[in-house]
Amino acid sequence: MPLLALLVLALLLAAAGCGTRPPAPSPPRPSPPPTPSPSRTPLPSIAPRQRDVRVPFAASGRYAVVPGGAPARPGRGSVVRYLVEVERGLPFDPGEFAAAVHRTLNDVRGWARFQRVDHGPVRVRVALSSPRLTIRQCRPLRTGGTLSCWNGTRSVINALRWAKGVPQYGGDLAAYRNYVISHEVGHSLGHSHRPCPGPGRLAPVMTQQSKSLGRCRPNPWPFPARKPREERRDRRSEARAERGPG
Ligand SMILES: [Zn+2]
């Protein structure tokens, strides 16, 4: 293969997802803005029983689109249409998975506003997949049966990681789930991997945090400095209280 073709192939693979591959050359990027302190909003906890889910290495190998839909959060800007798929035979409730994905994608700290549909043209499919189906869907990226990926059509979410998280998230499974959805859908919007910007900083969501945080701290959000609505409302009412009547 000519050298140019090899280079193009390497760049395509680098943009594709999260599997293991040799590092590809990348152009210099402007450094990211300073990362503010993490949000004080507590993340929802995951019921203990969900941690005990045993994920089989393989399920049916066939996806089912989760029926129904959900509107994008209110706000300005364009809306991304997406759908959710769950491999038949996995020990997860498809509706619960779709609801969790939708909450993450429409969080004010997320990428954009997302409308879930179950048909028609979509920008991205978010697909909960057994390790074996993940391996198949993510080729030629090497996921080792544990990583997730973006394969050009689907954000392939490995059910094993969805169930167990990763040690570097310190047992905060809800936060890890926010991360893996935000990261793999980030690829669908054209975002590539980013390195840890420095010791003690929040990891960009496009850092491969499932592999390593480097010397960064975990961060599941594209825009971690944005405040969730409840917190903003609280601050507004605090400000009103401080001003007082008259
Ligand atoms: Zn990735």
pLDDT tens figures, 103-128: 999 999 999 999 999 998 999 999 99
Q: DSSP letter at 70?
A: B
What spacing in Å lies between the alpha carbon of 54 and ligand 1's midpoint? 25
CB–CB of 83/188 below 8 Å? no
Instruction: Give me ligand 1 centre to Cα 80, in Å.
Output: 19
- CB of 84 within 8 A of CB of 116? yes
Report the separation in Å between the CA atom of 15 and the middle of ligand 1, taken as the mean of its atom positions: 8
Ligand 1 center–CA 145 separation, angstroms:
15
More confident residue, 53 or 152: 152
- pLDDT at residue 38, rounded to an integer: 43
21-75 per-position pLDDT tens digit: 544 444 444 444 444 444 444 444 555 455 578 999 999 999 999 999 999 999 9
CA 31 to ligand 1 center in whole angstroms: 19
pLDDT given at position 123:
96
Instruction: Please state, in angstroms and rounded to a whole number, the distance separating the CA atoms of residues 95 and 63.
Output: 14
User: Residue 47 has what pLDDT?
Assistant: 52
Residue 2 has pLDDT above 80, yes or no: no
d(CA 170, CA 217): 11
Which tens digits make up the pLDDT trace of 158-206? Answer: 999 999 999 999 999 999 999 999 999 999 999 999 999 999 999 999 9
CA of 186 relative to ligand 1 center, distance in Å:
8
**Are 117 and 69 a contacting pair, CB within 8 Å?**
yes
- Cβ contacts of 63 within 8 Å, gap of 6 or more: 85, 86, 87, 88, 127, 129
Nearest to 53 by CA among 108, 20, 5, 96: 96
The whole-number pLDDT of residue 77 equals 86
User: CA end-to-end span of the chain, whole Å?
Assistant: 77
- Of 123, 121, 130, which Cα lies nearest the Cα of 59? 130
pTM listed for this prediction: 0.77
How many whole angstroms from 14 Cα to the centroid of ligand 1?
9
Q: What integer pLDDT is reported at residue 236 of this predicted model?
A: 60
Q: pLDDT band at 229, cuts 50/70/90?
A: low
How far apart CA 207 and CA 194 sit, in angstroms, is 5
Which has more confidence, 237 or 120? 120
Q: How far is the CA of 183 from the centre of ligand 1 (A)?
A: 6
Q: Which residues make beta-bridge pairs with 158? A: 129
Spatial distance between the Cα atoms of 23 and 70, rounded to a whole number of angstroms: 38
**Residues having C-beta closer than 5 Å to ion ligand 1:** 18
Q: How far is the CA of 181 from the centre of ligand 1 (A)?
A: 10
Per the DSSP assignment, residues forming a β-bridge with 126 are: 84, 155
